[in-house]
């Protein structure tokens, strides 16, 4: 089955082509980083308008490079939510319109499910069941995954997500947008031990997270310190170390508590090399294996949506008979319906 995937939940336009037998045939991504840079963050209206400009050319590009036609498609998957309402509407409109014209199924995919399943694109994918750490700009969750569509939420963030805390801390340090990758790069030159930052909820009796207090501690450290280049690097290193310590601790608790032997890490923060190194070491010590998506599939992309759509093809029904559509800017992954 040949599935076209369309991702437009925020500030990246992604399109991919996935074959159930041959795997990923191609993908293309347009990032809006330059567009939003002068505003220091995503402007929803500008994001939506840019998706309108980019999606159809990306579809043509991916199909052309894979030597496929629209008529070859068996289904079109698109990000139904969560995300920016206007951006989601663009992707849903393109996907539904194409599917209606072609007489094929359109499948609305949960954005986080795409991230969670993205390691399955690897040549040596994990097998179900497993524990998943979803860690991105908008979400920090630990899920127990029994199979496609079967997700149990074990822990969630009570306030800022880890990626959001990265971005806000980067802004405090005067780093350019997008802040998370810039902070991680600066941290490589820093000495984490210079600043003692809290590890929020690391000793709690649950798997929940909280990063707003850590961000506040960074703000106080910035006020009390002459922010020369060395101090900025040291604060960045201390902040990153604190976040990594919390994430790794919670993952180890989840693995021990469930007895699982496979951990999947997905989402933009999953590309952080310090986090990967610490989780790999924890896996060696505790006897579990860690799987990550390729770096190019950590951020939002069409490949993960095409994959999720292909895995759900045949087990879902098109909403409203395939003619209408809705989006879900807020959508709980653990309680989502197969329909």
155's CB contacts (< 8 A; 6+ apart) are 141, 142, 206, 207, 208, 209, 250, 254
- List alpha helices for the chain, DSSP H: 33-37, 44-65, 85-102, 111-117, 162-172, 179-187, 212-224, 229-258, 273-286, 302-312
3-state SS, residue 339: coil
Residue that has been written with the tokens 């990923």 in this structure: 24
> What's the confidence (pLDDT) of residue 72?
98
β 130-135/105-110 pair status = unpaired
**What does the domain layout of the chain look like in residue ranges?**
2-117+298-335, 127-292
> What's the confidence (pLDDT) of residue 127?
96
Backbone angles phi, psi at 253, to 5 degrees: -65, -40
Q: How many residues does the chain have?
A: 339
pLDDT in tens, 252-265: 999 999 999 999 99
pTM as predicted: 0.93
Instruction: Decide whether 2-117+298-335 matches 127-292 in CATH topology.
Output: yes
pLDDT in tens, 159-175: 999 999 999 999 999 99
- The whole-number average pLDDT for the span 197-225 is 96
Residue 316 pLDDT grade (very low, low, confident, very high; cuts 50, 70, 90): low
Closest CA to 333 of 100, 139, 102: 139
> What's the confidence (pLDDT) of residue 333?
87
Residue 313 pLDDT grade (very low, low, confident, very high; cuts 50, 70, 90): confident
The two structure tokens encoding residue 239:
């902040």
> In CATH, what number does 2-117+298-335 get?
3.30.420.40
The chain-wide mean pLDDT, for the chain, equals: 94
Closest CA to 47 of 81, 108, 88, 93: 88
pLDDT in tens, 14-73: 999 999 999 999 999 999 999 998 888 899 999 999 999 999 999 999 999 999 999 999
- At what angle are helices 229-258 and 179-187 packed, to 10 degrees? 100
Backbone angles phi, psi at 124, to 5 degrees: -120, 75
Architecture of domain 127-292: 2-Layer Sandwich (3.30)
């Amino acid at each position: 089955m040949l599935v076209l995937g369309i991702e437009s939940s925020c500030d990246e336009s992604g399109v991919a082509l996935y074959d159930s037998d041959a795997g990923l045939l191609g993908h293309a991504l347009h990032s809006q980083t330059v567009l939003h840079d002068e505003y220091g963050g995503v402007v929803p209206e500008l994001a939506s308008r840019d998706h309108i400009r980019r999606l159809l050319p990306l579809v043509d590009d991916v199909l052309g490079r894979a030597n496929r036609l629209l008529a070859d498609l068996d289904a079109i998957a698109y990000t139904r939510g969560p995300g920016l309402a206007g951006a989601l509407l663009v992707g849903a409109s393109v996907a539904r319109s194409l599917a209606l014209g072609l007489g094929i199924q359109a499948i609305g995919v949960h954005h986080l499910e795409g991230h969670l399943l993205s390691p399955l694109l690897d040549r040596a994918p994990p097998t179900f069941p497993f524990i998943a750490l979803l860690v991105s700009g908008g979400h920090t969750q630990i899920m127990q995954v029994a199979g496609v569509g079967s997700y149990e939420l074990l822990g969630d963030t009570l306030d800022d997500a880890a990626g959001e805390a990265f971005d806000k801390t980067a802004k405090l340090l005067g780093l350019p947008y997008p802040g998370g990758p810039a902070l991680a790069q600066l941290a490589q030159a820093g000495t984490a031990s210079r600043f003692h930052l809290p590890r929020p909820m690391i000793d709690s009796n649950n798997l929940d997270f909280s990063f707003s207090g850590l961000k506040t501690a960074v703000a106080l450290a910035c006020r009390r310190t002459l922010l020369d280049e060395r101090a900025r690097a040291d604060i960045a290193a201390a902040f990153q170390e604190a976040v990594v310590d919390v994430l790794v601790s919670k993952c180890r608790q989840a693995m021990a508590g469930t007895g699982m032997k496979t951990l999947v890490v997905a989402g933009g923060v999953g590309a952080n090399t310090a986090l990967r190194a610490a989780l790999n070491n924890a896996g060696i010590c505790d006897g579990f294996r860690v799987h990550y998506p390729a770096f190019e599939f950590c951020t939002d992309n069409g490949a993960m949506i095409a994959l999720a759509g292909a895995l759900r093809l045949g087990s879902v029904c098109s909403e409203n008979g395939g003619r209408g559509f809705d989006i879900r800017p807020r959508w709980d992954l653990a309680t989502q319906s197969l329909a």
